[in-house]
Structure 1
Amino acid sequence: MSKPYAVVAITKHGVEIARRLQAGLAGTDVYYPAQFARGDETALGIYAYDGSVTQYIPELFVRYDGLIGIFSLGAMVRLVAPLLKDKKTDPAVVVIDDRAQHVISVLSGHLGGANQLTQQVARCLGAEPVITTASDVSETLAVDLLGREFSWEIENFEKVTAVSAAVVNEQQVQIVQEAGERNWWPYSKPLPPWFCVYSSTQAAMHDPFDAALVITPRLLTLPEQEHLLTNGVLYRPKVIVLGVGCNRGTKAEEIESVLVQTLRDLRLSERSVRNLATIDVKQDEPGLLEVCERRAWPLVTYTAAELNQVSLAQPSETVYRYVGAWGVCEPAARLSSGAKDWVLEKVKSGNVTVSVCMVTADA
């Protein structure tokens, strides 16, 4: 798959619509019957197929992020029904009628992006978007999408359905946000009165509620879990920066073990790590790169001159002698996070040193 979307047509009118979409919607592959070929398909990268569309849909369903069918809703439902797995893995599915009057979001409206794709296709064709997801129609929070644009992770996805029901039914919902981006409300209208926002779990623990949205990098205590997560969704914002220093040749297992143990000691979630930070001479350190690959943690590096701009209470002459910086993990964490102070200034374990900072709102 070189492009995210597949557009499939089965009629002469559908072919015209498909060609319009290829021209107007970026990242689109087009498929239609060879009997309607116009001779320029190879030049345009259009796939003209023989036989029935039925034999091609299963492959397209797994190859693309979005499947756009220019045929009836009922036909699409019958075609994809045997292929469905779950909302976290199924692609976006959209249908367009044969006159391009309506574009309908069919499947994976939120996580798969079908609702957003429906809007894009409708704008491209000048058609009417049809979206039936309750949170979109009501212009309220989509529990499964909250913070997605900021890469927040949901830790207990099994609670999403019940909490979503409380949101769309306008029940009392606590939003407890201890960290992370604050501009998550997507609408120009004020937050509805059935949402109550708190800056800490402590502030929220004694007020009644029907459901909770908890945004924190902390590992919750057992009482917090029992109170807030019985009908609550836990989000992990990407707010932790780990400054790392290590001796040359340190194994990935040692580096990873020290990082994970440090987070546990601080009662912070690994899911909230935004990135690692270190000096540029370590940008090719095999063990460090292996940890980053395993954990999908980006690595940010700084020159010695940049690191030396951060004042340290205990500059190291030994570190300076080897790399030209008075410290590595402490200033790297501060520079990457934008924080004014450390959660943990420095801890050394074996061949590894670690510093922990929290990302500031404007970093």
Structure 2
Amino acid sequence: MKIAIISVSDKGRKLAFDIKEKLDTDSTVIRCDLFHKNVKKYFNLAFLEYDAIIAIMASGILIRSVAPLIESKVTDPAIVNIDDNGNFAISTLSGHLGGANKLTQKISDLINATPVITTSTDVNKKLGIDVLAKDLYLSIDNTNEILFFNKSILQGKEITLSVNPKKNIDYLNDYLRNNTLEINVSTVHSSKVNPDEIHASADGHEMVLKEKKIVVGIGCRRGKECKYILEGLTKSIKDLNIHKSRINLLTSAEIKKDEKGILKLSDYLDIPVEFVDLEKLKLFESPDVQKSEFVKSKFGIYGVCEPSALIMAGFDSKLIYKKTSYDGVTIAIAISK
């Protein structure tokens, strides 16, 4: 998640620095930038360039600033509103698909604020269909149906999830087991469902949830054993609450194509691995990739795990886990659009 923090007062600016310092240590936060005053200019920028906005200001200033920019719950960034004293963190926009509710809780924990979340499913301790899609990195084919499904969930109606019988859905079963709360949900098999899809139905309405491609980029020292690479990967997906069966691909640079630890990991997890040509890595550019002069001096490229993950996740993909080191192993995770 790329986060912009916008403040208007000196006290708010101090709080913004404090929040940024804490978020910079979080591997799931790809970038965190600070902006002060000139709110109209910076909200226009943040709506286009960032996944989330933390607005440290009075709610009136926030509402008047963003009202002309709001378009859709599918595309609008998450917005969390915080007062200058850091007493309250309020999920204000895109609570589910944008992730504002979860970000509100994260920020509240960091600064010891009281989280304020008002979405109906959350306050009634129900799991929204859009929350399930967001948490499992699934796209929704018809977002107009979200309201109907969530109303059905609130009313206690049964939600049926149809999956392909040949697909490993351990990630879905694990998620439902830990997160369904009071939702009335059942899972059935259907050969009509594509392996990368989950078909949701409720009271005559249907919705298709499709897996976005999750790619784990790996870098490691020569000869690193599989168990140590696995430890790094396990810690990374735990931070994201991703089940290992949800990973679609492992990747690294072609200079690692004979690395036994990576090849063995692919076999152990039963997840394919692909290696990216050095020429592609040399040409690849992204403002979100961390550049290593050491790697550049040895291999002629600025990085391995981040650019490899982004390239293999496809055009317009984005990092959801920045390069993180684990004793000779680096892990980055990208997701397709």
**Which interval holds the TM-score relative to the shorter structure?**
0.5 to 0.7
State the Cα distance separating 1:144 from its structure 2 match.
Answer: 1.2
Q: Tell me which amino acid in the other structure corresponds to 2:23.
A: L
Of 169, 188, 198, which aligns to 1:199?
A: 188
Of 270, 294, 300, which aligns to 2:273?
A: 300
Tell me the percent identity: 27
2:18 matches 1:20: yes
Partner of 2:75: 89
Structure 2 residue matching 1:20: 3-state secondary structure: helix
Correspondences of 1:136-175 after superposition (within 5 Å): 136-175=122-161
TM-score calculated relative to the size of structure 2: 0.54
Query: Does structure 1 retain, via aligned residues, the 8 Å contact 2:152–2:202?
Result: no
TM-score calculated relative to the size of structure 1: 0.51
State the Cα distance separating 1:86 from its structure 2 match.
Answer: 1.1
Of 200, 206, 219, which aligns to 1:232?
A: 206
1:281-330 deviation line (CA, Å, top 9, x unaligned): xx9xxxxxxxxxxxxxx97349xxxxxxxxxxxxxxxxxxxxxxxxxxxx
Structure 1 residue matching 2:175: 3-state secondary structure: coil
Change (3 A) 1:215 1:13: farther
Correspondences of 1:234-249 after superposition (within 5 Å): 234-237=208-211
Unaligned runs of 5+ in 1: 34-51, 203-213, 240-271, 284-297, 303-363
State the Cα distance separating 1:122 from its structure 2 match.
Answer: 0.9
Change (3 A) 1:150 1:53: closer
Partner of 1:183: 174
Q: Tell me which amino acid in the other structure corresponds to 1:217.
A: P
Q: Distance in 1 between matches of 2:41 and 2:134?
A: 34
Partner of 2:229: none
Report which of the two structures shows the higher radius of gyration computed on alpha carbons.
1
State the Cα distance separating 1:125 from its structure 2 match.
Answer: 0.9
1:173-212 deviation line (CA, Å, top 9, x unaligned): 3344444231122746x753x614142359xxxxxxxxxx
Q: Which segments of structure 1 move beyond 6 Å, counting only runs of 4 or more?
A: none
1:77-102 deviation line (CA, Å, top 9, x unaligned): 11111111211111111110121100
Change (3 A) 1:140 1:228: closer
Q: What count of residue pairs does the alignment treat as equivalent? A: 216
Partner of 2:2: 4
State the Cα distance separating 1:273 from its structure 2 match.
Answer: 12
Correspondences of 1:308-323 after superposition (within 5 Å): none
Partner of 2:283: none
Partner of 1:29: 33
Partner of 1:245: none
Query: Does structure 2 retain, via aligned residues, the 8 Å contact 1:215–1:235?
Result: no
Correspondences of 1:106-125 after superposition (within 5 Å): 106-125=92-111
Change (3 A) 1:238 1:87: closer
State the Cα distance separating 1:104 from its structure 2 match.
Answer: 0.4
Q: Distance in 2 between matches of 1:154 and 1:229?
A: 18
Q: Distance in 2 between matches of 1:234 and 1:116?
A: 24
1:1-60 deviation line (CA, Å, top 9, x unaligned): xx8111111112212211211211223211225xxxxxxxxxxxxxxxxxx422332112
Q: Distance in 2 between matches of 1:228 and 1:97?
A: 40
Q: Distance in 2 between matches of 1:89 and 1:155?
A: 14
Change (3 A) 1:145 1:215: farther
Q: Distance in 2 between matches of 1:273 and 1:157?
A: 24
- Across the aligned residues of Structure 1 and Structure 2, the Cα RMSD in angstroms comes to 3.8
Q: Distance in 2 between matches of 1:276 and 1:66?
A: 28
Structure 2 residue matching 1:24: 3-state secondary structure: helix
Q: Tell me which amino acid in the other structure corresponds to 1:195.
A: N
2:50 matches 1:59: no
